Amino acid sequence: MNSSSAAGSIAGSIATGSIATASHGAVISGVEHTRQAIAALQAEELQWFARAEALAAEETARIPSSEGREREMPPRGMAAELAAVLRRSDRGMQERMRDAAVLVDGFPATLAALESGRIDVAHVRVIQDAGARITDPDARARFEQAALVVAERETPGRAKPIILMLAQRLDPVPLEERHTEAAAGRRVWVRDLDDGMAELAAILPAPLAYAIKERLTAHAREIVAAAKAARSGSSTGTAPSENRVGAGGAGVGADRVAGDDVAETDAIATDRRTTDQVRADVLTDLLLTGHASAPVSSGSIPATAAITAHVQITIPAATLTGESTEPAELVGYGPIDPATARHLAATTPVWERLFTSPTTGAVLQVDTYRPSMQMRRLLDARDEHCRFPGCRRPARHCDGDHTIDAAHGGPTRVTNLANLCPGRHHPVKHKTAWSVVQKPDGILEWTSPTGRVYVDIPRRVLEFRANAAADQPAPF
């Protein structure tokens, strides 16, 4: 435990000068050093919690009675006092004690990485949650070693699906067996909230949950776009009355239809709901009526324009043919069982073959029946999301940016293209002092205005390195 060194790091950072007058570089360094010190203190706190759990276990072991309630008292008493001093729930404190004990005993390398500030507590939770089901000590050590390769380079959100895949590959219990057991627990429930509201939640197979969200989002975007167009008067296509009244349709009936169209257009123009609000309303309409039936929704989406979900799943060829049980992957989530993956593959209208390097794991080529779109698909498969460090916006919603600007002679090749989200990081690259260089295998080296270098590695290359690390002897 090194609380003194952690406190010293904070003091040293502050002693270099007043925060109120710190320069750009000093601000970045100060935040970095402070965060490292906080991580060290959090690691120390976890060790104290683990020790509390151990003391409670020792006291429990000295109780001669086998009566369950009596043996529950030592950990409850310890949790109650810790909760009192921290002003927290004692029930939650018992969980923190147990989790800390598991971390200290079962994930020593993760604790050491937190203590040195190489990762933070969010990374710790991802690693511990993914690895908790691996009971074999050797397999768990190999998993932890591989997971840290990812966690030390990525945000928790980006790291989670990769670490879940690593856990699956190193877990001796097949995913299909675990998925079957988990799927039996699928359910829907409601939790009451304040102010006349309630929360509707469901546990579903991941591909279904992601497909539902994708379909709701597609509906919501259509509705929001229609409302914006109606307000600006820039709606494209034929006016509603022209669609509904044909030749010889003049008269009272035509006037009534035209009046309905005007009222419908006015309703759309006054719709100022946010995307989240529209998504929630569409969910309600779909579940209660079978379609997005609200007037604004039905007015902005033609009856013949089907809204379908889009999910990206990567399936090893041997798994697809049934020769292997290696898991498939739902991009943005993590591993899914082979049976579900094969079912989805059997119903998809488009197949893409993904070729990866056997030495680095980098995406080399995407082979499809639409060669004119091959480069775009390859980039989406390689990048999966915006390539600015930490961003997770899906690649299909990003711009294909020339790393070296086309205006400066940059070629339109995969080796000079990367996905950047249009509203935030694409402008940052072009309109601020940030710069980027693309290395082999799609690796991007970003340089910040203060001169710091941040390396963004494509997910599959990073996962390949992590798997390679898992095959090396553990350093502890």
83: exposed, middle or buried (Cβ count in 10 Å: 0-12, 13-18, 19+): middle
* pLDDT of 144: 96
pLDDT by 10-residue block (mean), the chain, 476 residues: 48 60 92 95 96 93 77 88 88 91 96 96 96 90 95 94 91 78 86 83 88 87 84 54 34 43 56 85 79 50 52 76 80 79 71 69 59 76 93 90 81 88 92 94 94 93 91 65
Structure-token match 């906080």, residue found: 38
Contact present, 71 and 58 (Cβ < 8 Å): no
The CA-atom distances, in angstroms, between 400 and each of 75, 102, 331, 356 are 55, 44, 19, 21
* pLDDT of 375: 83
Tokens, residue 38: 């906080």
Distance between CA atoms of residues 372 and 365, nearest Å: 14
pLDDT in tens, 419-470: 999 989 999 999 999 999 999 999 999 999 999 999 999 999 999 999 998 8
Distance between the two ends of the chain, CA-based, in angstroms? Answer: 18
- Quick count: other Cβ atoms within 10 Å of Cβ 323? 10
* pLDDT of 244: 32
* pLDDT of 262: 47
* pLDDT of 257: 41
Distance between CA atoms of residues 287 and 300, nearest Å: 19
Tokens, residue 208: 């279904």
